[in-house]
Amino acid sequence: MKKHEDLSECRMNTHEAQSAEHRLNPKDSTRSSRPEARSADGRMTSKRSSRTDDLLAMGKSVLRIAEKEVDEAEVFIISSSGTSLSIEKNRIKSVSGAGGTGIAIRILKDKKMGFAYCTALEGVVRALNLAIQGASIVPERPFEFPADENYYTIPDLLDRRVLELSPEDGMEFASRMIDSARDAHKDIDVTGGGVSFGEEEVVIMNTRGLEVSEHLSGMSASVYTVFNSDHPTPGFEYDSSHLILKDYDEIGRKAAELAAKGQNPVKIGSKKMPVVLRPDAISSLFEFILVPALYGINVGKGESVYTGKLGTEIASPDLSLVDDPTMPDGENAMKMDDEGVPSRRIELIRNGVLKDFLYTIKTGVEFDHPSTSSGLRGGYTSPVSTSGRNIILKGDTEEEDTLISEIKEGLLIHELMGAHTSNPASGDFSVTGSILFRIENGEVTGPVSQAMLSGNLPEYLKNVSGLGNNYRNLSGGLTAVGFYMPSVRIEGVRVTGEK
């Protein structure tokens, strides 16, 4: 879901750079009305809701006003509602509801683009004037909004059961997670986490005849734990889906078990060794190194390690990488991107060979490439920018235990810190493994004190020697990118242990 910001005035933005506001996990926020049709198991069908009809009518009103003043116009409307519960110090700290509607307008006048936004129809004229004012001070751009197209309906994005949840249901779910974590071990405290659920409707229309909408539900649950001792150790677990979640007890128990396993860590020396990066750890490296290096704008400007390498082998021949926003219940899954371009699966790496990059309409025009349906907004207040939507690492998979069993000496890494400081132009990184365990003779033997991992991710991709079959949905830590990732084994990673 998009981040909603309730603003009382209209604002403008005259360029297409990434705003400070970032898109949230679609399943971590809130979403608003109910469609009339539903399937036998409680999931929604694709029939349009009355609220969507209201938003479409609003969009048509905006376009009628805009087309009198500009050459082309686009309106992006998002309406959301939902409930969030936060956990702190072994109890439910707060229960809150949020939601609202936002309207973003992009215009073309004399081949120049302007952007502004507001929160109601009453603010449209002012927003339109701000967009025109903004367009007057920027260079001409060869840009055209997309025409209406056929769209593929993606299953498992809307679930009536999520829409029918009450705050009391949320309190029950949160209490179950707290209780299961504390029941797992007497020294466990639940320090954070929460439950959120709701719905979101998105409408995109323009003066070239485009008219498309999407209605999504979403739910997430997370627990952060600490094992209390002379040397406290952390744990975490979470789940998210467009569909209703069920196993809250398991979330609490796993978070507690991970914290308990971290007790009595040992120090390790500094050397190169194989590591198994669990989904959270590998996705954090991908978010800040690999994925930005595959954005066409960075490649075109020479700010990517992959500039000039299209068609060459850049990874293990056993690896492929795709961006698939059409995956049912996937991160950032919608029938369209935030410009109205139909979502499609993009093959980025095939059997180790670099095949493509990601583009918005604007960056595609700039670098002579069609849009890859990779235009996302951080919310209605944000301009469109390039984003990976649902990045999936593919190849032959096996049980994570099998990946571990083939390692004589190495590390199992649950979480990394500091990946945001990495350099996507070179691929270099230096991060801290904050929750990690030693592997000896094919078995996980115990926790390790914090260690530093460093090196060059593009080079390490050539050393990937196995993928787990434990795929899970993940959202970006600081950006809109989403992932569907397994554990990954990499040979020869530089590890610097604590002295």
Q: What is the pLDDT of residues 462-481, one digit of tens each?
A: 999 999 999 999 999 999 99
- Spatial distance between the Cα atoms of 12 and 132, rounded to a whole number of angstroms: 9
Cα–Cα separations (whole angstroms), residue 278 to 177, 233, 467, 468: 22, 18, 10, 9
Domain match, 312 and 225 both: no
Domain match, 223 and 287 both: no
Is residue 15 one of the residues assigned to a domain? Answer: yes
- Spatial distance between the Cα atoms of 306 and 290, rounded to a whole number of angstroms: 9
Average pLDDT on 199-217 reads 97
pLDDT tier for residue 271 given thresholds of 50, 70 and 90: very high
pLDDT tier for residue 498 given thresholds of 50, 70 and 90: confident
- Spatial distance between the Cα atoms of 70 and 107, rounded to a whole number of angstroms: 7
Domain match, 452 and 470 both: yes
pLDDT digits (tens, 9 = 90+) for 72-115: 999 999 999 999 999 999 999 999 998 999 999 999 999 999 99
Q: In percent, how much of the chain has pLDDT > 70?
A: 90
pLDDT tier for residue 21 given thresholds of 50, 70 and 90: very low
Is residue 328 one of the residues assigned to a domain? Answer: yes
379: left (phi over 0), alpha (psi -120 to 50) or beta: left
| Closest by CA position to 102, among listed 230, 10, 233, 20 | 10
Residue 340's domain spans which residues? 271-496
Average pLDDT on 350-366 reads 97
Average pLDDT on 136-153 reads 92
Per-residue pLDDT at 256 exceeds 50: yes
| Model pLDDT, residue 42 | 46
Domain match, 254 and 291 both: no
Q: How many residues does the chain have?
A: 499
| Model pLDDT, residue 499 | 66
pLDDT tier for residue 48 given thresholds of 50, 70 and 90: low
- Spatial distance between the Cα atoms of 480 and 232, rounded to a whole number of angstroms: 32
Average pLDDT on 18-43 reads 35
Domain match, 74 and 100 both: yes
| Model pLDDT, residue 47 | 54
Q: Of 238, 261, 284, which residue constitutes the final position of a domain?
A: 261
Q: Of 242, 261, 280, which residue constitutes the final position of a domain?
A: 261
| Model pLDDT, residue 264 | 94
What is the reported pTM?
0.90
Number of domains in the chain: 2
**Residue that wins the pLDDT comparison between 204 and 450:** 204
205: exposed, middle or buried (Cβ count in 10 Å: 0-12, 13-18, 19+): buried
Is residue 6 one of the residues assigned to a domain? Answer: no
**Residue that wins the pLDDT comparison between 93 and 47:** 93
Type of residue numbered 17: A
Q: Of 229, 261, 293, which residue constitutes the final position of a domain?
A: 261
- Spatial distance between the Cα atoms of 349 and 352, rounded to a whole number of angstroms: 6
Is residue 4 one of the residues assigned to a domain? Answer: no
Is residue 181 one of the residues assigned to a domain? Answer: yes
Angle at 225 between CA 224 and CA 227, to 5 degrees: 160
| Model pLDDT, residue 178 | 98
Average pLDDT of the chain, as a whole number: 90
Domain match, 255 and 277 both: no
The pairing of strands 451-456 and 488-496 is antiparallel
Is residue 3 one of the residues assigned to a domain? Answer: no
Per-residue pLDDT at 1 exceeds 60: no
Identify the residue whose tokens are 């809250």. Answer: 248
Domain match, 281 and 204 both: no
Domain match, 216 and 283 both: no
| Model pLDDT, residue 144 | 93
Is residue 2 one of the residues assigned to a domain? Answer: no
Domain match, 334 and 470 both: yes
Domain match, 457 and 385 both: yes
Domain match, 446 and 420 both: yes
pLDDT digits (tens, 9 = 90+) for 32-41: 222 233 343 4
Domain match, 133 and 171 both: yes
| Model pLDDT, residue 380 | 95
Residues whose CB is less than 8 angstroms from the CB of residue 322 and which lie 6 or more positions away in sequence, other chains included? 345, 346, 347, 348, 391, 392, 394
CATH number at residue 144: 3.30.2290.10
pLDDT digits (tens, 9 = 90+) for 367-413: 999 999 999 998 999 999 999 999 999 999 999 999 999 999 999 99
Is residue 33 one of the residues assigned to a domain? Answer: yes
